[in-house]
Amino acid sequence: MFTGLIQDTGVIARVEKQGTGAAQSLRARIETGMNLERIAMGASVSCSGCCLTVVAKVPGAFEVELSAETLARTVPGQWEQGSRINLEPSLRLGDEMGGHFVFGHVDGVARIESIERAGDFYRIILRAPEELTKFIAPKGSISLDGVSLTVNEVEGGMFGVTIIPHTWAHTTLHLKKPGDGLNLEADMLARYVARMIPGGNT
């Protein structure tokens, strides 16, 4: 479990493909400035919103494996050598809960429609996959590439978020442009509410 408060942006240094076709998986080495002594083998790390397991560590980097399911639900091309990704180690007992509960289970890809600067802030308008729009509500929480954000407004399949200067500078969001995709995880509370409403999970 995570909070959506990014601690570092890492770089994918190496990618090894395993298998072929629909069953293809990946093993990736991610360079990071995080203190890896605090991250145990087998621990979970949020990598741009995906909960991945640390399977190896070397000085300044760790390795993870990505299943075909993860590759199918996340941004195409994100797991290539040289890509930058947002990193957050798993939440520890006693840690401050500053964002919202992020589980690292990406639901799909939201596409950026526009990015506008508003003073020191940035407004991003995105289009969500149709099947996920029922989980997105004004003032609700959402995770985009692992970043905990508050939804400002929703109109049909479109929704908007505001990015504060610190988040803009210390995540990969400032590298994005219209047309790019972001890994979207809907708020778990919204999922349970939809489940309780008759016909809400259809």
Evaluate whether residue 79 is within a structural domain: yes
CATH of the domain at 18: 2.40.30.20
Number of compact structural domains in the chain: 2
- Give the pLDDT mean for 108-135: 96
38 and 77 both lie in a single domain: yes
Kindly report, residue by residue over 59-113, the tens digit of the pLDDT.
999 999 999 999 999 998 899 999 999 999 997 765 666 668 899 999 999 999 9
Q: What is the value of pTM for the model shown?
A: 0.91
The reply to whether 159 and 191 lie within a common domain is yes
Instruction: Classify residue 102: in a domain, yes or no.
Output: no
Claim to verify: residue 16 and residue 65 sit in the same structural domain = yes
Q: Is 97 part of any domain? A: no
Q: Answer yes or no: is 42 within a domain.
A: yes
Question: 185 and 113 share a domain?
Answer: yes
Judge if 112 and 192 occupy the same domain: yes
- For residue 174, being part of any structural domain is answered with yes
Residue 124: beta bridge partners? Answer: 115, 161
Domain boundary among 89, 124, 159: 89
pLDDT digits (tens, 9 = 90+) for 146-155: 999 999 999 9
* Separation CA 26–CA 17 (nearest Å): 5
Which structural domain range is residue 17 located in? Answer: 8-89
